[in-house]
Amino acid sequence: MKKPLHAEKEQFLLSSKGRLIGWGVADVKNLLRNANRAKTENLQLVPGITIQDAECIFARDWFEAFIDKGLSKETIDRLNARLAHVRYHHILMPSHKGRPYWRMIANADQIDDPELSIAYCMAHLLACGAFEGLKRCSLRDCQKYFIGRSNVKWCSKSCGSLYRVRKKRKRDRN
């Protein structure tokens, strides 16, 4: 049984023209899928690129920063700088315990470009621990992003198997 991601525990909400939109574990999976697509297809920011492709590229770039630099002060400052102009509203939310609580929700009308949208999503999912265990596959040919336990090195069993077969063949040749 797979361990649930931390993002399943909380939903982050975004206010857009009076609507509240829930965020959860599906967003983590979508970000990983998009970043992996940008990596495998080697997508680049060029004039005329689609919004979806741009979001894939920005997700890949943030994951690269998280993996290469960790959650350093520099990475967090860069994320905060990108989100600095977004306005937030206080909204009273019902609670399962009976007592309502305040929630800060961004004004989605100000989140109008793919880079800002991805930065906002990354910030909220980072805050709830959804990217704990974020890694890059150790197989040189693959390098996809995944979330796994501390002892896992490959994104899939097939990548791990391919690595071990190559290692054995190299050892046998020598």
Q: What is the pLDDT along the chain (174 residues), one digit of tens a residue?
A: 344 444 444 556 666 677 777 767 778 899 999 999 999 999 999 999 999 999 999 999 999 999 999 889 999 999 999 999 888 888 888 888 888 988 888 887 778 788 998 998 899 888 888 888 999 999 999 999 999 999 999 999 999 999 999 999 999 998
Q: Using alpha carbons only, how large is the chain's radius of gyration in Å?
A: 19
The verdict on pTM exceeding 0.95 is no
Nearest to 139 by CA among 44, 40, 34: 40
